[in-house]
Every structure is written in C-alpha cells, then in structure tokens.
Structure 1
Amino acid sequence: MNQSDTRRLLPDLPVLVELARTGTISEAAQELGMQQPSASRAVARLAEHAGVRLTARQGRSVVLTDAGRHLAEAGTEALALLENGLIAARRQAGTENALISISYQAALGESYLPRAIAHFRTFRRTTRFQLSHGSRRETLEAVRDGSADLALLAEPENVPGGQMSVLFDEPLVALASTQHPIARLQRPLTPEDLRAHELVILGAGYGLHDSIVRLLADVGGLPETAFEVDDYRVAQGLAAAGVGVTVLPPSAVTHATDVVELPIDHPEAHRTIGVVTGPEPSPVVEDFVDVLHIATRGHRRVPAPAAAE
C-alpha cells in the first residue's frame, strides 16, 4: 500500500474504530452522527482501499476479521495522535498574542514581578500583560470577579473553585530613621521594642497589616496610636522623617542614607508570598505561574534555622 492509499483510508477510519469499540454498524453510525447505510459504505470503501476483507457475516451481525481488528487498533492509535496534535496546535495558537491580567500588591511589582515577566517573554514574546496593584483584599477580589487572571499577594488564600500555590517566604524588618532611638539598639528587635515606639503601618486589608498584627499578638496587639497609611512608600517616608518605626519586607525597602534596616527576632517576622488563579486558568496563565516559581530563585527569603550543635 502506497502513501496515496493510506491517505484514502483516513476519512472512513473513524467508522472502523467505532465498529471495533461498539460491536455493531448501527451503534458506530450513531456515535458518529451518521446514517447506518453511510457507515456500511465507509467500511466497504476501507476494505477496497486496504485490499483485504475487514468484516465478515456472523449470523445477522457483522464482525471484524483479524485484518479488520489490526487496522482498527492502528486506527485508534492514529486518531489519538491526531487528537493530541490538534489540542497542541490549538493550545499554541491560544498563546499567540495572549493577554495575562495580573493584580498584585505594590511591593511585589518593584522587582520580583518584572523579573518574572522578563523571563516569560524570552519564550512568549507576543504575550501582553495588564497589571494593576492594590491591597491584598483588592487583588483577591479581582480574581473572584474575573477581572484578573491571577493575583500575586502576601498570605495567599484560595478563591472558590480557584487554585493557590506558595512561592516563597520573606523576612519582615523594621525601618527607622538613623536618628531614632531604636536604631541605636545593638541587637535584633523584639515585638516589645516595636510596641514601645510609635508605629507606622498599612491599613486593614493589606497583607502587611495582618502580618504586623500577628507579630504583636503576644504583646498586646497594635497600639492605638499607630499611623495607618495606604502605601508602603509613605510608611517608609514617615519612618525616614523620624515620625515612627515601620515594618516592611526587604523587597519594599528603598535604601537611603537617612534610614536603617533592623532585623526582628520573632517567629512571625516574615510573610508568605503566593499566587492565586481563578477556576480553569488558561494554558498561558499556567505557564506564567510556573515562571513565577522559577523567579523565586535568588529572591531574599527567610533564613533557615541554624542547626543544633
């Protein structure tokens, strides 16, 4: 059989595959949405092109010959390969000029998210991005209502029907003016140290707010005199001006000569960064989530506990 003969088998091959699966011409025709006489003619054409008998009469039924079974098995594999190829082709086409909408907490847009996007575009050059930042609450809501494909945020939690994965943990540090009394302490700070001074914090709804609440839970919680702001850069600016002490992740700290970064000695002095997607994320969104995991390499993380001596 030459290549031309093989190609002539393809249009009718699904009928033989369904006949092998269902056992009757009528059921094969029903599965394929065609009339029984058309299915019978398709099997006859296959036998003619193959040059061998594919079916035989057994009473009032039609059964496959050994040759028919062999061709049906090969046809099943061939059609499965074609199906997989079609899925792959459609998936690739779906990634061309794709748009990924990302809602993120602002500090993560300083370096981590841009690094991930730059890496992603080395192999998906035509992918476009729509970026919007907000509080932790706002980023989750954007995924819930479908206005964002994914949320990049601190202390991630799943949305109904969605998917969540942890990316990394990063430490929290205190930030104060170089002239502030707390800057003169020659040791890591404790929650008691922080609460003894005026604090500048992000308001409720921001991930950092919840992190600081947990950090201070054992020493009386947030002081009533705490400044609440809506931008981590404002918090740093107030700390640099000597108004108070703020707590930020290192990724949000803009190093300047008038501020000092101070470590905090407490198990809760960290935050978890993760990614949340909605139900059934597209293949291109799933690929970008994989890149977010890759981009965590080299990112500043919570140090591992020292081994006991």
Structure 2
Amino acid sequence: MTDESDEKLAARLAPALAILAAVGETGHVTRAAELLGIPQPTASRRLAALADLIGAPLVVPSGRGIRLTRAGRTLAAASTRALITMAAAAREVREEIDPATGRVVLGFLHLLGRALVPSLIRGFRECHPGVRFSLVQGSRQDMLDALREGAIDLVFAAPMPLDDPGLGSTPLADQELVLSVPPSHRFARRARVRAAELVGEELVTLEHGYGLRQITDDLCAAAGFEPKIAFEGQESETVRGLVAAGLGVAILPRSESASGVVEIPLSPPVFRTIGVSWSKEARLTPAVRAFRDHARAGTTDLGPGFRPA
C-alpha cells in the first residue's frame, strides 16, 4: 500500500474499478471484459495494476474462473455503488439534453400488468412517443427495496409506503377486493360475506412481502383471528387457480374474467389503494417526472376493475 492520501489513491483507482465490479459479478475475466466491451488482456492488466496499487491480491483462482479476495470484495462493493451513481448521473445529463428520448424504469405488482400499467403507458406515449420503459415486476417489498437502492425510478404498489420518510407517494386508483371461493363452497350463493366468517377457513394467499398478503393479514387481525394459511404463492392468478381447484378461499382483487371461482363482495366493502412511489433523495429525470405527473393527473382510463383514488 502506498503512503499517498486516501483521496489521491482513490483517484488512481477509479479508472479501473469497473473491471473489478464486473469480475465480482461474472467470476471470470473474459466474461467481465466482454461485459465492458474491452479486450481480455486489457482487463487482466487493469486487475494487476489495481493489485499493485493496493498492495494485496484482489482475485484468486477458483475452478475455471476466479473469485474476489476479501480486499477485492470490499473494493468491488464500493465500485458497484459508485458505478450506479455515475450511471444515474450520466443518464440524467443525457436526458436533460434530450428529455423526449428518456427512459423510465417502472416497478409494479404482477396483477397491475394486466390493465393499469398498460393503460397509463399508452396514454403517456401518445404525448411522449420517444420515451422508453423498462418494466420490473415483483413483490411489494422487492420493488420498494429496489426503489430505495436507485435501481427503479417509480413503483406502483399497494398499500403505499406511507411510513417511509424517504419515499414520496400519491394515490392513483382504488381496487375492490372480494372473497373468491370455488363454486361448491358454502359461501358461493351468498350476496356478501363478513371477514369474521372466515375463521377456520383454509386461505390461499400470496407470500409475505406482497401487499395483498399484508392486507389479508390485517383484515383477519381486525376481525379478531389469525388466518389459517393452506397455500402461499407469488402470483394472483396462481392463487385463483388453487381456489378453483377447491384448495381454499382467497381475498383477491375483483376480476373481469374470473373463471372457475365465485367472487363475493366483502361486508363492509374492502378496497386497496394503489399508489405511485418515488425516492425523495433521487433526482428524477425529465422523463420520469413527466410519467409520474401523468399518472398522478388521473386523466387516463385506468381499465376495468379500477376507479380513481
């Protein structure tokens, strides 16, 4: 290790840190070089130069590839964070110059990809045809974690993360939740069902981390009982299919094409509010701000099953 200041050493390390981050991701110098678009010998020389600057090896052989040493993992983790920040800055500069050709990374719950998300994007693209979208689906918790880390620009989720001071949120739409049961179930001919009547029923629901699971658990807790979970899934259509197979009942958003199940309104009616969330700490690019404002304006037909919040 040299005696120069940390600042000077960091400045000398910076140009080659991308290769270290890429090696940490791929576990192979050749693949890392391909990822960065540089020749493999160049990547090897940069790794060797980094090790010389640090005064310790950064990689060691591992099978047919390589793995990072402890020093290498420390630098690679910092490199990845720095590169994410720089990529965001480069994107912001590029889109400030030409906002009409920006990109929006949008995270949303699986079920919203059927109607809400396509409706909002279609309405937005009528006025901003050059803006591109990268769509990411997953659980509410995964989407919000990615939003906090800067990997996603905006998230459509329910419930909104109102308890997180680092995130801003605006309600977009309300969606009614109903009880889905197989046609042979004792509730199938009922006009309404109270949540308290679900005591002892085998429930099919989503895994922890999904907003619908949180709503289901809260609804049962408010009725004074702990839900009896028969199956957990990661997608609402799978849950609906298990209900249709007679494997339990589920609280799900009302569907316009619910085949094989009977949907019964809850008493009192239950709605979930879907909102758009963004990081207050991130500088939103013009394209992201424009799409967020479009979604918040509520001027687009939200599709069947939704009503403006």
Is TM-score (shorter-chain normalized) higher than 0.5? yes
Per-residue deviation at 1:222?
3.2
**2:119–2:303 contact (8 Å) kept in structure 1:** no
**2:147–2:154 contact (8 Å) kept in structure 1:** yes
Distance 1:213 1:266, change over 3 A: farther
Per-residue deviation at 1:226?
3.4
Instruction: Identify, as 1 or 2, the structure richer in strand.
Output: 2
Are 2:128 and 1:124 aligned? yes
Percent identity (aligned): 34
One-letter identity of the residue aligned with 2:171: V
Which residue of 209, 212, 236 corresponds with 2:213?
A: 209
Aligned position for 1:163 = 168
Partners of 2:308 and 2:101 lie apart in 1 by 40
1:177-218 Cα offsets, whole Å, 9 max, x none, are: 112222022x31111222342110111110001111121113
One-letter identity of the residue aligned with 2:180: L
Aligned position for 1:144 = 148
Cα RMSD (Å) of the superposition? Answer: 2.4
Per-residue deviation at 1:221?
3.4
Aligned position for 1:260 = 262
1:95-130 Cα offsets, whole Å, 9 max, x none, are: 232110011111111110001111111111111110
**2:212–2:252 contact (8 Å) kept in structure 1:** yes
Partners of 2:183 and 2:257 lie apart in 1 by 14
Partners of 2:243 and 2:302 lie apart in 1 by 30
Please give the residue correspondences for 1:1-309 in structure 2 after superposition, counting only pairs within 5 Å: 93-157=97-161, 161-185=166-190, 187-250=191-254, 254-256=257-259, 258-266=260-268, 269-278=270-279, 279-293=282-296, 294=298, 295=300, 300-301=305-306
Partners of 2:254 and 2:166 lie apart in 1 by 33
What is the aligned length? 211
Aligned position for 2:22 = none
One-letter identity of the residue aligned with 2:181: A
One-letter identity of the residue aligned with 1:275: V
One-letter identity of the residue aligned with 1:180: H
Distance 1:127 1:134, change over 3 A: same
Aligned position for 2:58 = none
One-letter identity of the residue aligned with 2:272: R
One-letter identity of the residue aligned with 1:204: H
1:250-300 Cα offsets, whole Å, 9 max, x none, are: 25x6422x2111100136x22111011122222211211122232365664
Higher alpha-carbon Rg: 1
Per-residue deviation at 1:133?
0.5
One-letter identity of the residue aligned with 1:163: G
Partners of 1:204 and 1:170 lie apart in 2 by 20
Q: Aligned to 2:161, what secondary structure does the other structure show?
A: coil
**2:195–2:220 contact (8 Å) kept in structure 1:** yes
- Structure 2: tracts of 5 or more residues without a match: 1-93
- Structure 1: tracts of 5 or more residues without a match: 1-89, 305-309
Distance 1:283 1:162, change over 3 A: farther
Partners of 1:259 and 1:210 lie apart in 2 by 22
